[in-house]
Structure 1
């Protein structure tokens, strides 16, 4: 009998039987329960529920659970932005006031709809000793990348702020010598007067020349070169160049240098002012650079709290409206059925 489901009639009969023989034979209930093979905990639980029928035993929705229209909105938004991860989707929906949910909730909804792909990753510890900048324009990451435009190779140099991940400046040229790098850095400094960042580069020939060292010293900046044959040590700019090639250059397929410059310019504008960056808390680099990240995070937290409160108030109001239909002699199973129907009703 232990561990098996029994009806409330059998349960009450067992309680009556044990109580009867406990008084009749003056034996402790423990001994009688051992004879019939029933746990004491089960018996006393049946005593507490004596005379009661089994109530609703299913999963009762909590007040903060999602409503059906919210699940549909999450799925629709995923189809509008199929290339975005679930975390970026979460904060995009928060900022656009579509649905106020947490990343874990979006993950569960998309996973249940079989809309998530599997990703495998390994934990890497190399390079974890690098101290991240605490303010904008402390670190500028610089690198040169090759672009294939209609069979002709060009050079693109980008300058990334290490704190905000904002693209400070970029240029595409037919050649990229040491003088070209100096010109690009000087134009970047003119856009942000008074800053003296630390320039982080690899060991390319443009960055190890004596003329470049003199330029860094005269301009008031400092220069650090990464470990040889280890591009991950300058991973911020490497990742950006990988992103701009996979999301801009290759899909758009520019046909000329001017076309490539216009395409990259549009992408950089979107990257800095619209695209949410995962490494800085899913805000745009422009917001991070301007110091608006804390207020954006606070506004998102408030939206999540308001959404939970709204769902709770709606469900409580619905329950209070349905409670008037209960009569004094209503059976518990009828109440359980009414609660089940209420939780399954649209908009509940």
Structure 2
């Protein structure tokens, strides 16, 4: 489209060029006649000599080459992480050392749907309404620690349905001794400010077990420089017990409980549950519960020290912990 104030349209350019090339007008005379500079007259005359009447149309402003453009190989890596890991633009950018805005433009250019618009298991598009997300964060480590329990089914010796299929996996589970069946209880304590997580795999969720775990968690946080001031839990029976309450009072810790049936109130530890499910519990097929449990310590180390956290602008929880050197490795 020709600019509104442009002195020449495509037809005017052709007339100017023909006056110079076909009729032999001097460049200055043609420039004065059509109200343009001598440089402009020379440009359109040269294009007419080279391309004829077709050269009078506007050319695209896009450069023929862009040295700083993202390579196709890197674009394929972005798309591969999106499909295989289901990561958002920020986390992909931190992993590849790119700008999140660049990753977002790549995903948009290839028409990748938002993760919230796709099914987590199949990646198929689903309809989802928009919702407003309100985020909060405490000012310092230890101001609030989120505590929760995640229950996972144990893997029978030899592997379950993820290794052998649904039917064979069930048969193997029934043939396994009772020690290989049941549930594993993962007790978590996640600091609100830093997202630093302390977690253990325990045998049950009784009040004695939860209280002993909380004592060890408070001691561990103190070792890394975090003084626990407040703890938030759900309304589970172990957290409502006098034993748990008295332990917190002995340490001078305030206890807060979430509203009933509102897990989002304890959202940071719920997000940690989702992360461990995707990146540890079901990240690969395990052949036994012992094998999966043995990989948990490595997962915690990666989560606390190396995993880029989108809420921390690409940093890890260890970056916000005052004194972590030499601990929890």
Which of 48, 51, 55 is residue 41 of structure 2 equivalent to? 51
Residue matched to 1:298: none
| 1:132 and 2:137 aligned | yes
Distance 2:77 2:137 in 1: 37
In the superposition, the TM-score normalised over structure 2's length comes to 0.65
Distance 1:281 1:291 in 2: 20
Pairwise CA distance, 1:63: 9.9
Pairwise CA distance, 1:146: 0.7
1:1-348 equivalent positions in 2, closer than 5 A: 5-6=10-11, 8-10=13-15, 47-49=35-37, 51-54=41-44, 57-61=59-63, 66-67=68-69, 70-76=71-77, 78-79=79-80, 82-83=84-85, 84-94=87-97, 101-112=98-109, 114=110, 116-119=112-115, 120=117, 122-125=129-132, 128=134, 131-150=136-155, 151-167=181-197, 169-193=198-222, 195-290=227-322
After TM superposition, the structure 1 stretch with the greater mean CA deviation from structure 2, 188-197 or 71-80, is 71-80
The structure, 1 or 2, with the larger RCO (C-alpha pairs under 8 Å, 6+ apart) is 1
Distance 1:108 1:154 in 2: 42
Pairwise CA distance, 1:223: 0.8
CA RMSD of aligned residues (A): 3.3
Distance 1:261 1:104 in 2: 38
Structure 1 93/220 Cα, relative in aligned 2: closer, same or farther at 3 Å? same
Does the Cα contact within 8 Å between 2:149 and 2:186 map onto a contact in 1?
yes
Match of 1:72, SS? helix
Distance 1:115 1:282 in 2: 24
Pairwise CA distance, 1:105: 1.9
Distance 1:166 1:176 in 2: 22
Pairwise CA distance, 1:248: 1.3
Deviations 1:1-50 (A, max 9, x none): x9963252325799xxxxxxxxxxxxxxxxxxxxxxxxxxxxx9x62356
Match of 1:251, SS? coil
Gaps of 5+ in 1: 15-43, 95-100, 293-348
Deviations 1:84-118 (A, max 9, x none): 33321212222xxxxxx422222333444x37344
Does the Cα contact within 8 Å between 2:188 and 2:199 map onto a contact in 1?
yes
Distance 1:65 1:92 in 2: 23
Structure 1 262/61 Cα, relative in aligned 2: closer, same or farther at 3 Å? same
Structure 1 204/67 Cα, relative in aligned 2: closer, same or farther at 3 Å? same
| Count of paired positions | 250
Distance 2:251 2:300 in 1: 26
Pairwise CA distance, 1:254: 4.1
Pairwise CA distance, 1:200: 0.7
Structure 1 267/58 Cα, relative in aligned 2: closer, same or farther at 3 Å? same
In the superposition, the TM-score normalised over structure 1's length comes to 0.62
Does the Cα contact within 8 Å between 1:146 and 1:154 map onto a contact in 2?
yes
Match of 1:192, SS? helix
Match of 2:283, SS? helix
Gaps of 5+ in 2: 4-8, 20-31, 48-57, 118-127, 156-180, 325-329
Pairwise CA distance, 1:60: 4.4
Residue matched to 2:50: none
Pairwise CA distance, 1:186: 1.1
Residue matched to 1:325: none
Residue matched to 2:177: none
Structure 1 162/122 Cα, relative in aligned 2: closer, same or farther at 3 Å? farther
